[in-house]
Amino acid sequence: MGRENILSFALLCVFHDWTLGVESKMIHPRLNRRNLDPIQLDMAPDSIDDSYEGCRENMLSEVKKTFLPNEKNIDSKFKGAWEDAMKVYDNNYNSNNELSNDHLRAIHVYVNTGKSIFESFNEATRTLGKRYKTDYKYHSLHFLLSDALRILNKAQGKKCEKTFRGSTRAFQGEKGHTMRFGQFASSSTDELVAKFFADWKTCFKITTCFGASLAGLSQLNDEQEVLIPPYEVFKIAEVTKNKVLEDKDKDDKSECEIVYELESTKTTQSQLNCNIVEKDKK
């Protein structure tokens, strides 16, 4: 993608609240500068990291009859976002793949425009692990996204993929340490997209083996998004610090001020696996 297209894309993002940053929603950095403490690149011990291994059928049933209706009732923003998604994927829609309409609606709620709730969703997913059963109000969205990624990953051949992620935030992480994002983490197969949203500050070069491409499932096709689940474990393979760039020097060939290279360990860690429902009967 050329630099002119990146700039046009950024203007769209200002209006559409697209996210590539770890902290929450990310618009062009010059329009949203905040002085915040560095984010620790660690195992995200407070994450809601349920991967639903062994309880998928029970959780799917609970989502349909309990969690989704209740969560729409208690959160007007989520209800509005879900209703918007239902207009796109109504009951007559046939996706012609293994994703159900509810999977598609969940993806739409997370990545697309309008009443997006990803900021509060990501914050809650990163921090409410100890209150998973009491205070977390996104059980349906968390499950449907996790399940959709599993289905898409399988359909796409379960291959590892190189992606990129950018943020204006500062991070702290050491080479050789392991980490998880602890939330659903957006990334792009286009490195320049990540650099632009980082304003050439903090960039991640990621090899993910559990993330999945959302190609064709987002209103902004140029983003080439790959979504990474909270429970995938990475090793910080390299940390590179580069010189601070002037605006005139920022282009597709220049590197960000700090670059973290993350290699998937090809494992997951789910401390809360099936913590909210019973295991499926065999």
pLDDT digits (tens, 9 = 90+) for 131-170: 999 999 999 999 999 999 999 999 888 889 999 999 998 9
Total number of domains in the chain: 1
CA distance 65 to 29: 41
Mean pLDDT of all residues in 67-75 = 96
Q: How many CB atoms lie within 10 A of CB 69?
A: 11
Beta strands in 81-223 (DSSP E): 161-167, 171-172, 178-179, 185-188, 202-208, 212-213
Q: Where is average pLDDT lowest: 21-30, 96-105, 139-148, 209-218?
A: 21-30
76 noted as active-site residue: no
What's the average model confidence in pLDDT over 2-15? 43
**% pLDDT > 70, the chain:** 83
Lowest mean pLDDT among 1-15, 74-88, 125-139, 207-221: 1-15
Marked catalytic residue, from 150, 165, 169, 180: 165
Confirm whether 278 is domain-assigned. Answer: no
Q: 280 lies in a domain?
A: no
**163-186 burial, b if ≥16 CB within 10 A, otherwise e?**
bbbbbbbebebeeeebbbbbbbbb
* CB burial of residue 97 (10 Å; 0-12, 13-18, 19+): exposed
Its sign, for the CA torsion 159, 182, 214, 164, is negative
Name the catalytic one among 116, 186, 188, 218.
186
Q: Is residue 184 helix, strand or coil?
A: coil
Question: Domain of 47: which CATH number?
Answer: 3.90.176.10
The most confident of 73-77, 165-169, 170-174, 260-264, by mean pLDDT: 260-264
Per annotation, catalytic residue among 71, 191, 225, 232: 225
Amino acid at 42: D
Note if 30 is an active site residue.
no
- Among the listed residues 200, 202, 195, 207, the one whose alpha carbon sits nearest the alpha carbon of residue 172: 202
Confirm whether 250 is domain-assigned.
Answer: yes
The alpha carbon torsion through 171, 177, 182, 183 (nearest 10 deg) reads 60
- The band of 1, judged by pLDDT with boundaries at 50, 70 and 90, is very low
In a domain? residue 194: yes
Reported confidence tier of residue 213, pLDDT bands at 50, 70, 90? very high
230's CB contacts (< 8 A; 6+ apart) are 44, 47, 48, 49, 125, 126, 180, 181, 182, 183, 184, 185
The number of helices, as runs of H, and strands, as runs of E, in the chain is 8, 10
**Which is more confidently placed, 255 or 238?**
238
When pLDDT is averaged across residues 247-257 and rounded to a whole number, the result is 84
pLDDT of residue 220: 53
Residue 281 lies in a domain: no
Contact 180, 223 (CB under 8 A): no
Give the 3-state secondary structure of residue 71.
Answer: helix
pLDDT at 266 over 70: yes
Tell me the two tokens of residue 197.
């949203």
Domain that holds residue 57: 3-10+19-268
- Per the rule left: phi > 0, alpha: psi between -120 and 50, beta: everything else, 68 is alpha
pLDDT at 16 exceeding the cut of 50: no
Confidence check: pLDDT of 100 > 90: yes
Residue 32 covered by a domain: yes
Show the beta-strand stretches assigned E in 16-55: 39-40
Q: How many CB atoms lie within 10 A of CB 247?
A: 8
pLDDT at 245: 81
Considering the domain boundaries, does residue 185 fall inside one? yes
Residue 141 located in a structural domain:
yes
Q: What is the chain's mean pLDDT, rounded?
A: 85
Cα angle value 269/216/229 (rounded, 5°): 10
Give the model's pLDDT for residue 21.
42
Q: Is 165 a catalytic residue?
A: yes
